[in-house]
C-alpha cells in the first residue's frame, strides 16, 4: 500500500465504526466496530483500532470532526457526527 489514506469513524447501527477508505480498491475496506456503543471511542482506542487494521495516523495528523443532518432537507433532523484523520500503512512507517 503506497501513500496516505483517510480513516473515517461514525456511529453506524448504534455502534461506532472506523474504516480506512482505500482508493481504487474493489474489495471491502478495512474496518473496526467498537464494542461499547454507549461512549465515543477515546484517542487511544481509535489508535489501537487503526493499528489492528495495519495503519497509523500520519505524523502531525489530528482527528477532525464534522456534523451533518440525518435528513439535509429537515433542519430539525438528528445530527450525525463523522470523524476523520489521515493515516498511512504501518509497513511504510517502518520501511
- Mean pLDDT, to the nearest integer, of 90-94? 65
What rounded mean pLDDT belongs to the chain?
A: 88
Reference 28, options 17, 37, 19, 36; nearest CA is 19
- Mean pLDDT, to the nearest integer, of 79-90? 92
Cα Rg of the chain (Å, integer): 14
Between 24 and 56, the more confident residue is 56
> Which tens digits make up the pLDDT trace of 28-72?
789 999 987 778 999 999 999 999 999 999 999 999 999 888 888
Q: pTM value?
A: 0.82
Domain span at residue 28 reads 4-94
pLDDT recorded at residue 69 = 85
pLDDT recorded at residue 80 = 86
Between 51 and 94, the more confident residue is 51
CB atoms within 10 A of CB 47: 16
- Strand duo 64-69 + 31-33: pairing: unpaired
Q: How many domains does the chain have?
A: 1
Amino acid at each position: 500500500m503506497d501513500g496516505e489514506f483517510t480513516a473515517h469513524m461514525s456511529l453506524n447501527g448504534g455502534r461506532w465504526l472506523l474504516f480506512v477508505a482505500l482508493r481504487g480498491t474493489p474489495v471491502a475496506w478495512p474496518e473496526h466496530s467498537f464494542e461499547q456503543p454507549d461512549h465515543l471511542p477515546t484517542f487511544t482506542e481509535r489508535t489501537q483500532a487503526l493499528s489492528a487494521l495495519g495503519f497509523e495516523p500520519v505524523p502531525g495528523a489530528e482527528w477532525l470532526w464534522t456534523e451533518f443532518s440525518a435528513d439535509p432537507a429537515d433542519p430539525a433532523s438528528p445530527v450525525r457526527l463523522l470523524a476523520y484523520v489521515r493515516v498511512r500503512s504501518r509497513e511504510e512507517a517502518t520501511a
